[in-house]
């Protein structure tokens, strides 16, 4: 899976260079780049906009499913047993089916707050770019904690046992974990580099 992901990422990037002229990129490439790619591919294959329409339907289903899963997962994490000592008791309250309703309300409220904050940006393209840039900051930092946990677990591998071990050699595993941590941390810090004229505004609403 790791090699397949790396292969698709690297060669997928190369394939985009075939379709897009680096000197004349659309302003909304980040938001609509995948749609442009499928449209161009369909035109190359003589299928017109068929691939674009198919991708649009699949993308809509995928995004709705992803939103539902992310909201559900975040709500369960907030209401998890490990959070009872650090969260208000009302957040962990569940209904008769065991679902943490108040956590759903909090998670949805946070998402709504982000959307309202993004409404102060000039257009939908700026909103999308801000959310994408924000994601580019949050996810690498989140991964840093994952790699730190990985390093800590492998450092004390005599105390933690698992039926599956991704890298059996302890020294190699720790070295890979350290490299992944440094790489993720550097990428997270580079995400703060200015990318457009709305940087100050975007940093202000991100700080909230």
Q: Domain extents for the chain?
A: 123-208
Question: Residue 57 has what pLDDT?
Answer: 92
H/E/C letters for each residue in the chain?
CHHHHHHHHHHHHHHHHHHCCCCCCCCCHHHHHHHHHHHHHHHHCCCCCHHHHHHHHHHHHHHHHHHHHHHHHHHHHHCCHHHCCCCCHHHHCCCCCCCCHHHHHHHHHHHHHHHHHHCCCCCHHHHHHHHHHHHHHHHHHHHHHHHHHHHHHHHCCCCCCCCCCCCCCHHHHHHHHHHHHHHHHHHHHHCCCCCCCCHHHHHHHHHC
pLDDT tens for the chain, 208 residues: list them: 878 888 888 888 787 777 777 777 777 777 777 788 888 888 888 888 888 899 889 988 988 887 777 776 666 666 665 556 666 667 666 777 767 666 777 777 777 777 777 666 666 666 676 677 777 777 788 888 888 888 888 888 777 777 777 777 878 888 988 998 998 888 888 776 665 555 555 555 555 4
């Amino acid at each position: 899976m790791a090699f397949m992901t790396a292969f698709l990422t690297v060669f997928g990037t190369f394939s985009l260079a075939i379709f897009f002229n680096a000197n004349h990129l659309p302003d909304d490439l980040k938001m609509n780049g995948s749609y442009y790619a499928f449209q161009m591919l369909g035109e190359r294959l003589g299928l017109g906009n068929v691939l674009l329409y198919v991708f649009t339907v699949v993308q809509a289903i995928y995004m709705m499913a992803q939103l539902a899963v992310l909201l559900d997962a975040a709500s369960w994490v907030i209401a998890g047993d490990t959070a009872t000592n650090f969260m208000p008791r009302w957040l962990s309250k569940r209904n008769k089916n065991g679902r943490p309703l108040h956590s759903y309300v909090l998670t949805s409220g946070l998402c709504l707050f982000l959307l309202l904050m993004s409404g102060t940006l000039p257009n939908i393209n700026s909103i999308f770019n801000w959310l994408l840039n924000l994601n580019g900051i949050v996810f690498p930092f989140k991964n840093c904690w994952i790699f730190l946990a990985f390093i800590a677990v492998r450092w004390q591998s005599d105390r933690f046992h698992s039926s599956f071990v991704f890298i059996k050699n302890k020294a190699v595993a720790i070295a890979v974990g350290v490299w992944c941590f440094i790489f993720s941390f550097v990428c997270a810090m580079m995400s703060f580099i200015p990318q457009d004229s709305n940087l100050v505004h975007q940093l202000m609403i991100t700080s909230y």
